[in-house]
A and B are shown apart, each in its own frame.
Chain A
Amino acid sequence: MTTQTLEKPASTSPAAPERTRCGRTYLPAVDIYETKDELVLLADLPGVKAESLEIQFEKSELKITGNVNECGCKGREPILGEYAKGDFVRSFQIGEAIDSNRISAELKDGVLTLHLPKVEAVKPRKIAVKSA
C-alpha cells in the first residue's frame, strides 16, 4: 500500500478573514447531537446576550460569534483572576444537508440551543413494498 502526502502550496490557501473587534476570542464548549430529524448544537456562552449573538450558516459552514461586554469593575482591586473575558467564536463544518430556512436558535441563561433541521430528502424513509 502506498501512501501519498499532498502538500498544499502556500500561495493558494486563502487568508482567513480577520476580526475587527480587538481582544482575545475563546472557543465555547459545545455539545452536538443528532436525531433523525435534526442536528442540535448546544453551546455554553456565559455573558452573551441575544442581541450580541451572531449565527451564520453559509455553504455548510456554521459560524457562531458571541460578543461579551467588559465587566463594570472600575475602582475595584483584582485579587483573583482565574478566567479572562472575551468574545466567543467557533465555526463548524456541517456534513449533513441542512434546511437553512428552518434553522432556529434560542439563548437562555448563557446556553445557546441551535436546531438545524435536516433536509427532507436526507431523512431515512421507509419504502413501502407492495406485493403484486
Chain B
Amino acid sequence: MFNPNEGLFTLGRLRGEMDRLFSDLFNPVHRTHGGGLWETEYPALNVWEDEGSFYAEAELPGYKLSDLEITVVKNELTLKGERQLPEDENRTYHRRERPQGAFSRVLYLPAEVNADKVEATFSDGVLHLQLPKAEAAKPRKIPVSCR
C-alpha cells in the first residue's frame, strides 16, 4: 500500500540540499580536515524559530567574536570566520583533529529578518544568534467581519 508520507526527499530537505550545493559553489570553503570529522558544512548550525525571531546556534570553540564576520541581508545569513592554530617547530604533533582555516557559510532563513536588530553572543565557544523577523514576515491575525 503506497504511503504518501514516505518519500525519498521531503520538500524541506530537498531545499536544504540545493542550498548546500549552491552555497558550496559560490562560497568555496577552505578548511583543513583533521580526521575527516567535518564531512558536512562547517560550522554545523541549529536553528529554531518562534513567532518573533529566529535563533541560531553554532559550535565554534576557540574563536572570539572578532574572528567572525556575520552578515544578514533579507533572509540570507552569512557566517564567515577563520581560525589559525599556532605552529611551532619545537612541537611534534601526535594527533591533529581540530579543524583550522577559513570557513564561509550561507544560510537561507524561511523569512526576512530585521538586520538592524540581530544580536550575537558568544559563550564557551558556542555562538548564539537572535534574528528578529522583519515586521512584514511576522504572522498577522486577520479580523473577519461579517457582511
Q: Which of B57, B60, B61 has the most CB of A within 10 A?
A: B61
Residues of B within 8 A of A31 (CB): 34, 85, 93, 95-98
**Taking beta carbons and an 8 Å cutoff, which residues of B are in contact with A?**
16, 34-35, 37, 40-41, 44-50, 54-55, 57, 59-64, 85, 88, 90-99, 107, 110, 122, 124-126
**Taking beta carbons and an 8 Å cutoff, which residues of A are in contact with B?**
29-36, 40, 42, 44-49, 71, 73, 75-83, 109-111
Q: Which of A29, A33, A73, A111 contacts B93 (CB 8 A)?
A: A33
**18 further A-B pairs in the complex, CB-CB below 8 A; given A46-B61, A46-B126, A83-B46:** A30-B97, A31-B34, A31-B93, A32-B93, A35-B90, A49-B124, A71-B46, A76-B55, A77-B49, A78-B47, A79-B54, A80-B107, A82-B40, A83-B45, A109-B61, A110-B61, A110-B124, A111-B125
**A-B contact number at CB 8 A:** 106
The docked-state distance in angstroms from the alpha carbon of A4 to that of B88 is 42
Are the CB atoms of A77 and B50 closer together than 8 Å? yes
The docked-state distance in angstroms from the alpha carbon of A124 to that of B124 is 38
**B19 nearest CB across to chain A (Å):** 10
**A27 nearest CB across to chain B (Å):** 9
